[in-house]
Amino acid sequence: MCGIVGAVAQRDVSPVLLEGLKRLEYRGYDSAGLAVMSHDKELQRLRVQGKVNELFKEHQKSPLNGTTGIAHTRWATHGKPNVKNAHPHICHDKVALVHNGIIENHEELRKEQMASGFEFNSETDTEVVVNAIYEALESRLDLLHAVFNTTKKLQGAYALGVINNTDPGRLIAVKKGSPLVIGVGIGEYFIASDVFALLPVTQKFIFLEDGDIADITRDKLTIYDSELSIVERSIKLTELNADMADKAGYRHYMLKEIFSQPNAIEKSLEHRIKDGKIITSEFGQNADSIFSRVKSVKIAACGTSYHAGLIAAYWMEEIAHISCHVEIASEYRYRKSVVIDDTLFVSISQSGETADTLAALHLAKESNFLSTLAICNVAESSLTRDSELVFLTHAGPEIGVASTKAFTTQLVALFLMVIAIAKHNGLSKEYEKMMIKQVKSLSGRVSQLLHHKDEIEIMAKDFADKHHALFLGRGSFLPVAMEGALKLKEISYIHAEAYAAGELKHGPLALVDDDMPIVAVAPNNNLLEKLKSNLQEVKARGGKLYLFADKESDVESTEGVYIINLNVDYDFMAPILHTIPLQLLAYYVAVIKGADIDQPRNLAKSVTVE
Ligand code: F6R
């Protein structure tokens, strides 16, 4: 979280920095700031509490001009979201710094620095870094060595951008555990937390590796590794373009992303299927031989990606007859676990930068796993770089903080993975063909479901004044219910919980009254009759039910029971299909409540800290 941008150019860099921050705002938006070196070598700084738009306004009133600068949008970890904690941090008007990540030993460093006379202006973990660099500069080190020496004292994860007024055209960038890219322009260089920030100024990028330090001037870039030896890092051309970031006429990115799911699903399937069969090499060169040895699967992920993993586990056991366990990455990374021989480790992540998921992967690499596979939406991410096998979801950039198209395309990828593994465990050609047919029908069926938007918008009115909601599902629809509840709470701030419907009477039924809406996912499968009995238990207690049913679920709207018939046939795609109306429900409830849908409070899109 937190977004960093920096630039060294011949032109005035402020517009580039501000536009970059706007594009990085999904990473954090509680305060923002920029520091630009003036033409007479003075560090000028603007900081605001709130969103980047506030910074734009301030900048209009008092513009900063200069050709070297750094900027930051913050997601507060240490210290409140206010101006004094906003970045850039400056020490003695000499050195300015932006930081993404967490300095774990900041308290110890703060004590040492206070003892040697430093006064602190913020509550952040960052200020110790700028102080340490200042101290090193005072001992006559140049900026590169001052930053390098400072990093040796730091524990934790960080990406840094540093400028100072003795070297006004120089920018030092460091990456350790937090993402950082260098944008290569013509006679100018940029840094940013992701490529997206820099697409208006370049398509050429260098992806720094952990421990790298880049010494950047307008006409020269030198990259050093963690031992300060010069290293070569290749320049890559991105296929992304700046226009991908517009809302295409939709009111919010989230709505655009919900409606782009048919297309995103098609893109995820493109070139992955030939003659009714999966092209296993799409997972990596050795995928076929690795998949042939898989005896069990371990999945680790966070949030929505974790829910995708939970659904995949049902598929894996039912279709491939291979045992599959799913773990919350932040739990898995700290627990002692047993790895069964020939277990494939699968991580799932939209961003590929989620700190907990990355840590789980790194732990897996030191353990006895057969191999590591990343299912990810960002090609050049830490997760894809560090995994042996990779399957990209090709959903396109997801900007709304609440994940939608990333989730459905993760499920497509996971379904293909299950089939590719199942082929080595007795899945017949006919069965494979049948399942490929199902996944190929998905995009069209999702398009049909989106037509229910008006009905769902009406239904959403019933939720807007509620404080709590329960979501029920059974089997692979329990994770669908969990995802529905997560969407509702994160963007509408209504407390929502998901339960396996059979668990209701073991406790949560006590909560049910006419003020507690209950959403049930009711596909037409072998558990439908059982689910109906669970729903009777709710109805008998005066609970108001909202049901998303399949074509032949045979349920009708009655007093206190609101049914939306999705008119879909039941098959393996049903968990994906049933997710769509829940996304729309959360969206429309949040619209009615007037919530900040694309940037919900306290959240950020890319969770690069623990
Ligand atoms: C919820 C949401 C989060 C993410 C989670 C993991 O809508 O977006 O729960 O799913 O932070 O992020 P990635 O998938 O980038 O690892």
Which percentage of the chain shows pLDDT scores above 90? 80
Whether the CB of 403 sits within 6 Å of ligand 1: yes
Confirm or reject: Cβ of 254 under 6 Å from ligand 1: no
Architecture per CATH, 3-245: 4-Layer Sandwich (3.60)
The verdict on the CB of residue 402 being under 6 Å from ligand 1 is yes
| The predicted structure's pLDDT at residue 462 | 95
pLDDT value of residue 541:
82
Q: Does ligand 1 come within 6 angstroms of the Cβ of 304? A: yes
At residue 602, the pLDDT reads: 83
CA atoms within 13 A on the CB side of 535: 30
Residue type for 328, please? Answer: I
Query: Is 261's C-beta closer than 6 angstroms to any atom of ligand 1?
Result: no
Kindly name the residue from 2, 91, 302, 376 that is annotated as catalytic.
Answer: 2
Q: How far is CA 74 from CA 31, 135, 159, 185, in A?
A: 5, 25, 13, 26
Question: Which protein residue has the closest C-alpha to ligand 1 atom 7?
Answer: 402
Please pick, among 22, 256, 298, 605, the residue that the annotation labels catalytic.
605
Give the pLDDT band of residue 512 (cuts 50, 70, 90).
confident
Torsion of CA 417, 422, 428, 434, to 10 degrees: -30
Structural domain spans, the chain: 3-245, 247-440, 449-610
Q: What is the mean pLDDT of residues 141-152?
A: 97
Residue nearest to atom 3 of ligand 1 (CA): 303
321-325, 361-365, 535-539 — which is least confidently predicted?
Answer: 535-539
Mean pLDDT of 426-453: 96
| Pair 310, 479: CB distance under 8 Å | yes
- Over pLDDT 70: what percentage of the chain? 100
Predicted TM-score (pTM) of the model is: 0.85
Report pLDDT digits (tens) over 99-110: 999 899 999 999
User: In 162-274, which ranges are continuous DSSP H helix?
Assistant: 253-259, 261-269
pLDDT (tens digit, 9 = 90+) per residue, 569-603? 899 999 999 999 999 999 999 999 999 999 888 88
Whether residue 243 is predicted with pLDDT greater than 80 in this model: the reply is: no
**Residue minimizing CA distance to atom 11 of ligand 1:** 303
Rounded mean pLDDT, 503-516: 88
Whether the per-residue pLDDT at 293 is higher than 80: the answer is yes
371 lines ligand 1 (CB under 6 A): no
Per-residue pLDDT, 261: 98
Q: Is the dihedral of CA 186, 189, 190, 191 positive or negative?
A: positive
pLDDT of residue 529: 82
Ligand 1 pocket, residue 393 CB under 6 Å:
no
pLDDT tens digits along 179-227: 999 999 999 999 999 998 999 999 999 999 999 999 999 999 999 999 9
Q: Does domain 247-440 have CATH number 3.40.50.10490?
A: yes
Q: Give residue 605 CA to ligand 1 midpoint distance, Å.
A: 7
Nearest atom (ligand 1) to Cα of 401: 8
* Cα atoms in the Cβ-side hemisphere of radius 13 Å centred on 178: 28
Pick from 75, 302, 327, 480 the residue to mutate for probing ligand 1's pocket: most ligand atoms within 8 Å of its CB.
302
pLDDT at residue 540 tops 90 = no
pLDDT of residue 526: 80
Structurally, at CATH architecture level, domain 449-610 sits in 3-Layer(aba) Sandwich (3.40)
The mean-pLDDT minimum among 5-14, 159-168, 336-345, 593-602 falls in 593-602
Asked whether 378 and 384 are in contact (CB, 8 A), the reply is: yes
Does residue 487 have an active-site annotation? no
Which residues are bridge partners to 164 per DSSP? 95
Q: Is a pLDDT exceeding 90 seen at residue 560?
A: no
Q: What is the chain's mean pLDDT, rounded?
A: 94
Instruction: Supply the pLDDT for residue 381.
Output: 87
Structural tokens at position 161: 């951008």
Confidence of residue 420 (pLDDT cuts 50, 70, 90): very high
Out of 392, 403, 597, give the residue to mutate to test ligand 1, the one with the largest number of ligand atoms within 8 Å of its CB.
Answer: 403
- Intrachain domains 3-245 and 449-610 with the same fold: no
Please identify, by atom number, the ligand 1 atom nearest to the C-alpha of residue 406. Answer: 14
* Ligand 1 nearest atom to the CA of residue 306, by list position: 10
